[in-house]
Structure 1
Amino acid sequence: MRRPDMHVEKGEEFFENGFAIFVNKVYEHFDLPEHLHDFYEISYVWEGSGFHYIGDQTIRVSKGDLFFIPIGISHIFRPSSPHPNKPLRIGNCIFDASLFHFLTSILPEQYHMYRFNDLAQHGGQWLQMREQSGEFEQVMSSLLSEFQQKRTGYETMMCGLLLQLLIVMGRTIEHEEASSSPNQDRMEAVLRSIRSRLADKITLASLAKEVGIGTRQIQRIITEHTGASFSELISHERINQSCRLLADPSNRVLSIADIAAAVGIQDPKRFYRLFKEKTGVTPATYRRRN
């Protein structure tokens, strides 16, 4: 969900000397608020586990997951825990629209770059996939190495590696579509229902009734798509929404207790404890930092 004042990261902050590819490998924390960007991004989960809040979805992530994020899609990665012994490390490869369009149009359609051509033309569609045997890590490692060492011809090498990564991603998508889960639409319905009722008491029975499926089936769907239990998902959604509210300057008039109540936690002490447990900082500290 995009707020009008949501932070927009710009490619000019990262690209140097006219070369429109930037690669890094970073540990995720709760300091960075949800954001969007004016460039394309491929994010790879290099280490650990956590959650990816992207668009209107919450996705449990772990090593081997990869996301293709177009221009204008709001997202943020959050670790499962703020403790340093449970890190979430993400590799990012970002590149501008003109380079992306060039790489996805230089080959004839029969060379199977049509999926990314469609993304370039229509936009707004993010993709998620998971590697089978380290194929994403291999290419991401090569991209990072070329970017850091900057040996002669590294720009051309990185363009070739990015094209290779897009091809490997296309193969993975085809494989996953052949065995896709029929429960994705139901999971999206579950998330929509939860987010529309965060200020209320949400029980598994009431959620099942609203979505129109059994409680056991809902539990299976939630675990399948997020790796979390029903209560864990509710907590994650409430804390993530409170992060959004605390980071929004228009909510400065609201007290911490007001924010807690807005996400369905009536006891401020419980909210304080849960927020610090999930983010590693207090609600007041989070508000000051953002």
Structure 2
Amino acid sequence: MRKADLLMEKGEYFFTNGFSIFVNKVKERFELPEHVHDFYEICYVVEGSGFHYVEEETIRVSRGDLFFLPIGVSHIFRPASADPNKALVISNCIFDERLFQFLTSILPDQFGMYRFREQLLQRDNWLHMRERSGEFGLVFASLFEEFQQKRTGYETMLCGLLLQLFIQMERALESAEAPVYNRMETILRVVRERLGDKMTLADVSDAVNLGVRQLQRMIAEQLGCSFSELLLSERINLSCRLLEDAANSRRSIADIAAAVGMQDVKRFYRVFKEKTGMTPGAYRVGRGSENFVGFP
């Protein structure tokens, strides 16, 4: 799906009384669509596991992962399971560009924020990092509490906590421990280009010029899953996109199953429902409303 066709989340849906910070905590669901924002967003994985699709990358996530998403970056979280007892819980802090520019320019370069600003010179340069000892989780817990309770001075407190979170991210960049997934780009591209075909680990291994065991190890280390789990996740995510796309509204479920490499329609129905909690037909109907607004 083209980025221009994705749902656009607007800050005006969430910001009130002229204050441009919004904080929430949500259980991710399969029916939420891939989308872009006209605001900045920081997402923190509170509990559970799943996948985060950011632009053209797929990242396995679990508690402690944090993402900084600038304006216009497309993304969606998908839980690893539709089981409510295995929920993927995400805490989000969103804020507008004006506030971001203000908070990141308060201090001179020698006081901090240098690397963070350098990383974000390009509008679409999103960041992924992982906490070392719960430091991101502590700040997010305070952000959520302040936003919910709205005690005297909470607006100023939220700005201070957001600046604290920026500094924690600066420290993570300084330590050079933020995960880098560039090595996976070629592997993921090959997998996505061949989703409609029968595909084995050996096929991908040959295409990327890596040994089978080395490829298995790389996927396990960087995505935290097996090749078969990755392949199934990519196929279900692509089928979700095809079902969401109005251009495919007259396309049969069987055609969409075949397009993602699952010729057995019964198996496609079963796997889709296991992963999303609903049938492909119900998913298509649920996504049919042009007025649907989901966050994040």
Q: Which residue pairs with 2:182 in the alignment?
A: 185
| CA RMSD between the two structures | 1.4
- Structure 2 distance, partners of 1:41, 1:180, is 19
Q: Is the 8 A contact 1:113 1:167 kept in 2?
A: yes
Cα distance in 2, alignment partners of residues 146 and 215 from structure 1: 50
CA distance in 1 between partners of 2:271 and 2:250 (Å): 22
Show the counterpart of 2:108. 108
C-alpha separation in 2, matches of 1:118 and 1:54: 20
Alignment of 1:65-76 (within 5 A): 65-76=65-76
In the superposition, the TM-score normalised over structure 2's length comes to 0.94
Q: Please state how far the C-alpha of 1:120 moved relative to its aligned partner.
A: 4.7
Matches within 5 A, 1:208-287: 208-287=205-284
**Deviation digits for residues 101-120 of structure 1, max 9, x if unmatched?**
11111111112212332355
| Maintained 8 Å contact 1:101/1:117 | no
Please say if residues 64 and 137 of structure 2, whose CA atoms lie closer than 8 Å, have aligned partners that are also in contact. Answer: yes
Residue aligned with 2:5, SS: coil
> What amino acid sits opposite 1:194 in the alignment?
V
Q: 1:78 to 1:266 in 2, by over 3 A?
A: same
- What is the DSSP-based 3-state SS (H/G/I as helix, E as strand, rest coil) of the residue aligned with 2:23? strand
Aligned to 2:22: 22
Distance 1:180 1:6, change over 3 A: closer
Q: What secondary structure sits across from 1:102 in the alignment?
A: helix
State how far apart, in whole Å, the 2-side matches of 1:124 and 1:151 are. 35
Give the SS at the match of 2:84: coil
Conservation of the 8 A alpha-carbon contact between 2:52 and 2:75: yes
Deviation at 1:152, TM superposition (A): 1.1
What residue number does 2:293 align with?
Answer: none
Shift of 1:180: 5.9
8 Å CA contact 2:116–2:173 kept in 1: the answer is no
Structure 1: how far apart are the matches of 2:120 and 2:202? Answer: 42
**Contact preservation (8 Å) 1:33, 1:76:** yes
State percent identity of aligned pairs: 64
Alpha-carbon separation, structure 1, partners of 2:44 and 2:220: 22
Tell me what 2:164 maps to. 164
Asked whether the 8 Å contact 2:120–2:126 carries over to 1, the reply is no
- After superposition, the Cα gap between the structure-2 partners of 1:67 and 1:239, relative to the gap in structure 1 and judged at 3 Å, is same
User: How far, CA to CA, are the matches of 1:189 and 1:169 in structure 2?
Assistant: 27
Report the equivalent of 1:5: 5
Distance 1:93 1:2 in 2: 26
Runs of 4+ in 1 over 4 A off after TM superposition: none
Give the deviation of 1:218 after TM superposition: 0.5
Q: Which amino acid aligns with 1:214?
A: G
User: Higher mean Cα deviation, 2-11 or 117-126?
Assistant: 117-126
Given that 1:43 and 1:66 are in contact with CA atoms closer than 8 Å, whether structure 2 keeps it comes out as: yes
The 5 A counterparts of 1:80-159 are 80-159=80-159
Runs of 5+ consecutive residues of structure 1 not aligned to the other structure: none
Q: Deviations over 1:16-40 (max 9, x none)?
A: 0000000001111112111110000
3-state SS of the aligned residue for 1:265?
coil
Moved more, 112-121 or 48-57: 112-121
Question: 1:2 deviation in Å?
Answer: 4.2
Amino acid at match of 2:182: D
Query: Any unmatched runs of 5+ in structure 2?
Result: 288-296
- Tell me the TM-score normalized by structure 1: 0.96
Which amino acid letter does the alignment assign opposite residue 145 of structure 1?
E
1:122 shift after superposition:
1.9
